[in-house]
Structure 1
Amino acid sequence: MSKLNELFRKRLNIPESENITFETLDQVLEKTATAIPFENICVIDNRTRDISKENLIEKILVKKEGGLCYELNSLFYFFLIENGFHAVLARGDVYEIAAQEYQTLGRTHVTILITHEERTYLIDTGFGGNLPLRSVPLTGETVTSYNGEFRIKKMNGEHGDYVLELKLRHKDKDWRIGYAFDSKKTITDVSEFNEIQTIISEHKNSPFNKHPLMTRLTNQGNVTLTPTSFTQWEDGNVTKEKVDKVRFKELAIGHFGIHPDS
């Protein structure tokens, strides 16, 4: 068993002897979402490294940090490949709900496509609190998890040929767009995502280079930490706590296992 496979299973508490199949993939997605946070601390602290298999293993599995979409989904892609799945990566454009338009950064979201029994599914472990926790078929059926409902619609436009729509449990009354993606331009070399990391780190319109952000799903909902607040969703009930710098570091360590420098 490879180092990546061994360490990934250890972080998720999956026995080395357990066979990962399409039928058990939902459980792996849930464990990943609760164990590995979506966070931008390396971007904020200006200590990003080139996107490579070795660096992702070191960052997320050895140091037990989290990451952004291009890190989390790249690592999960490698894990899928090593467990016998037919997987590729794809890029997408995130939709801004407040502005009612796609982000101006271009295709900076990274997601995963797998093929099983001649059907293609989307898998995403790097979309913050919006994770489907399921394999979402590109044929339009709605899938449901404890995080909400998710579906993919065919589209034709500058942003891609499919769009992920979602309706989060306890949060969304209507369907909304998550992101569009291009299934025809697949990627297997993660070094392409260094371009995305540069945009995320340096572009003036990037939402991830302004202040620290950490979020992680829990079995009851999710937790989100910023420098000014700590928000918890539990079974539809939300609590929000104001935080200062000292409390921020305490919560970062306690709830996310992250030790921020700033």
Structure 2
Amino acid sequence: MSELNALFRKRIGFPENEEITFEALDIILEKTAKNIPFENLCILEKKTSDITKENLINKILVKKEGGLCYELNSILYFFLIENGFNAVLARGVIFENATQNYLTLGRTHVTILVNHEDQQYLIDTGFGGNLPLKPVPLSGEPITSNNGEFRIKKVNSEHGNYVLEMKLKHKNIAWKIGYAFDSKKPIHDVSEFNEIQTIIAEHQESPFNKKPIITRLTTGGNLTLTNTSFTQWIDGIVTKEEIDNSSFEELLKQHFDITH
């Protein structure tokens, strides 16, 4: 077993000797979402590294940090490939529901497409608190997970040929657009994501270069930490507390196991 395969299993708490079938992906996705946070600390501290397999192993599996979509989905992609899956990476554009427009940063979202028994599925562990937690078929059939309902809609736009839609548990009554993505331009070389990292780090409209945001899923909901607040969703009940810098460091260690 490769170093990546063994370390990834250890990080998410999945047995080293257990085969990963397509049916087991629900468990893998849930464990990944609970154990590897979505966070932008390296961007803010200007401590980014080139996007390579080795650097991702070091950052996420050795140093036990989290990351953004292009890091989290890249490391999961490598893990899936190591376990015999037919997977590729794809790029997408995030939809801003507050403004009802797509972000103007270009295709800066990274997701995964998996082929299984002549069907294609979207898999995403890098979309903050909006994770499907299960493979979502591109055929349009909706799936339901602990995080809500998710489906893929076929579209043809400048942003891609499919859209991920979601109804988050306890949060959305109607379907909302998550992002558009392009299945016709599969990516196998993660070095392409250095361009995304640069945009995320430097673009004035990037949502991730202004203040820290750290989030991960929990059994009953999710946790989100910024430098001014700590928000917990537990079974549909939200509690939000204002915090200061010292509380930020304590909560980062306590809830996300990151020493800053």
Name 2:248's counterpart in structure 1: 248
Give 3-state SS (helix, strand or coil) of 1:19's partner.
Answer: coil
Q: Per-residue deviation at 1:258?
A: 1.6
Matched, 1:25 2:52: no
Q: 4+ residue stretches of structure 1 with deviation over 4 A? A: none
User: 2:259, 2:110 → 1: CA distance?
Assistant: 25
Name 2:201's counterpart in structure 1: 201
Name 2:47's counterpart in structure 1: 47
Matched, 1:180 2:180: yes
User: 1:142, 1:15 → 2: CA distance?
Assistant: 30
Name 1:159's counterpart in structure 2: 159
User: 1:27, 1:2 → 2: CA distance?
Assistant: 21
Which residues of structure 1 form unaligned runs of 5+? Answer: none
Name 1:220's counterpart in structure 2: 220
User: 1:85, 1:216 → 2: CA distance?
Assistant: 25
User: 1:52, 1:211 → 2: CA distance?
Assistant: 25
Which residues of structure 2 form unaligned runs of 5+? Answer: none
Structure 2-normalised TM-score?
0.99
The residue correspondences of 1:72-111 to structure 2 (distance < 5 A) are 72-111=72-111
User: 1:18, 1:259 → 2: CA distance?
Assistant: 31
Q: Per-residue deviation at 1:12?
A: 1.2
Name 2:191's counterpart in structure 1: 191
User: 1:14, 1:109 → 2: CA distance?
Assistant: 27
User: 1:124, 1:132 → 2: CA distance?
Assistant: 7
Matched, 1:132 2:135: no
Structure 1-normalised TM-score?
0.99
The one-letter amino acid paired with 2:27 is: Q
| Matched residues, number | 260
Name 1:114's counterpart in structure 2: 114
Percentage of matched positions with identical amino acids: 70
The one-letter amino acid paired with 2:72 is: L
Question: Over aligned residues, Cα RMSD in angstroms?
Answer: 0.4
